């Protein structure tokens, strides 16, 4: 029997219940894995609260990434062996000590990447990869603004953007998070609880503003993010930790400089096995090289998932958080 976190009804962290469930044998194309670590992400909150509907309805097991060891393989699986160390992102159902996963979602880990790092790197690291390397390919000499720079995606993306040669400006919510962001690639930090981030961006850039703004905050940073862009700059909105944007006015893009706006999501970028493998290889290369460090700053027991959600929603976490089954 596997330990799992189940959601029977959507709501606050209290709806996360610790239970046991029979995993069963892997079917064709599946692998059964024993998980050593499970990644915590804000998208888990969206599913738990009902903001995003669970793919197969209620009840469901939340979680979109994990790392562990292959324990059994179903019919037709090639390229994997029992005992392989793997990591994955998607499908939903990661809050478990054991689970079945489509084998084509699994990525073999480099030998020097540990399980906690692996569980924390897939969704957040692959998100950073598509943001910086595909949605708006960052180049040397450009200036970027990254909101929530001390968050899980932010710490990875700011290091990576710095490595690519960009000037990196990051917004944070405290002096402690400012220090963390500066230690992970930010050239400039802005405490949006104490400063007007739009005015500070203009000051930092000498009025030139940014080539791109990466925004996972949503309501609290709109429409200010648009005012941080130079003409024909791009606003990449990829999350809504402060709440959804409900009054988006398309005409603002023209008024503020013929701006571009895009709302991407990871799962449209890893829609084929070839894309997943290429993105994961790019991610692991910058991690193994030392250009990007994955900071797992909080761990919780799987049974304490509700406590972990409260910490995440209360903005009391920095970097990555993993659940340990």
Residue 69 has pLDDT above 90, yes or no: yes
| Overall pTM surpassing 0.75 (yes/no) | yes
Q: Is the dihedral of CA 306, 95, 49, 8 positive or negative?
A: negative
For the domain that residue 228 is a member of, what is the CATH number?
3.40.50.720
Tell me, yes or no, whether 160 and 81 share the same domain.
no
CA distances from 153 to 149, 287, 318 (A): 8, 14, 10
If DSSP codes are grouped into helix, strand and coil, which group holds residue 293? coil
Say whether pLDDT at 247 is over 90.
Answer: no
Q: Note whether 114 and 172 are same-domain residues.
A: no
Tell which residue, 318, 293, 317, 298, has the closest CA to residue 157: 293
227 assigned to some structural domain: yes
Residue-wise pLDDT for 30-66, tens only, equals: 999 999 999 999 889 999 999 999 999 999 999 999 9
CA distances (Å), origin 199, targets 170, 195, 277, 308: 14, 8, 41, 34
Per-residue tokens: 177: 């998070």
Quick: pLDDT tens for 131-183.
Answer: 999 999 999 999 999 999 998 899 999 999 999 999 999 999 999 999 999 99
Q: Report yes or no: 236 and 131 within 8 Å, Cβ to Cβ.
A: yes
Burial of 209 (0-12, 13-18, 19+ CB in 10 A): buried
On whether both 160 and 96 belong to a single domain, the answer is: no
Whether the pLDDT of residue 71 is over 90: the answer is yes
Q: What is the mean pLDDT of residues 223-233?
A: 97
User: Within 13 Å of residue 56, how many CA atoms lie on the same side as its CB?
Assistant: 8
Domain that holds residue 117: 2-122+280-324
Q: Where are the alpha helices (DSSP H) in 131-228?
A: 152-163, 175-182, 197-204
- Residues 204-221 have pLDDT tens digits of 999 999 999 999 998 999
Q: How many domains does the structure of the chain reveal? A: 2
Give the integer Cα–Cα distance in Å for 141 and 212: 12
Average pLDDT, rounded, for the chain: 96
């Amino acid at each position: 029997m596997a330990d799992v976190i189940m959601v029977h009804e959507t709501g606050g962290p209290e709806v996360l219940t610790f239970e046991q469930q029979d995993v069963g044998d892997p079917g064709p194309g599946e692998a059964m894995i024993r998980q050593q670590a499970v990644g915590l992400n804000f998208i888990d909150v969206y599913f738990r609260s009902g903001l995003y509907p669970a793919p197969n309805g209620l009840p469901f097991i939340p979680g979109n990434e994990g790392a562990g060891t292959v324990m059994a393989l179903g019919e037709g699986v090639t390229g994997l062996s029992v005992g392989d160390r793997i990591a994955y992102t998607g499908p939903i159902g990661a809050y478990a000590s054991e689970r079945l996963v489509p084998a084509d979602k699994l990525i073999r880990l480099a030998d020097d990447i540990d399980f906690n790092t692996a569980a924390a790197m897939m969704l957040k690291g692959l998100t950073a990869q598509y943001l910086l390397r595909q949605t708006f390919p960052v180049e040397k000499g450009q200036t970027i603004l990254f909101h929530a720079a001390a968050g899980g995606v932010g710490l990875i993306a700011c290091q990576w953007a710095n490595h690519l040669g960009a000037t990196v400006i990051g917004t944070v919510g405290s002096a402690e998070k400012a220090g963390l962001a500066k230690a992970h690639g930010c050239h400039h930090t802005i405490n949006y609880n104490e400063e007007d981030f739009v005015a500070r961006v203009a000051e930092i850039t000498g009025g030139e503003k940014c080539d791109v703004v990466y925004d996972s905050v949503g309501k609290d940073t709109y429409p200010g993010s648009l005012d941080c862009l130079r003409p024909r700059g791009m606003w990449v909105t990829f999350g809504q930790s402060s709440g959804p944007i409900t009054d988006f006015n398309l005409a603002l893009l023209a008024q503020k400089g013929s701006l571009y706006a895009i709302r991407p999501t990871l799962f449209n970028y890893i829609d084929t096995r070839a894309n997943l493998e290429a993105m994961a290889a790019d991610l692991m290369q910058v991690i193994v090289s030392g250009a990007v460090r994955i900071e797992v700053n909080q761990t919780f027991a799987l049974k304490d998932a509700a406590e972990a959600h409260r910490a995440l929603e209360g903005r009391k976490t920095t970097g990555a958080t993993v659940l340990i089954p």
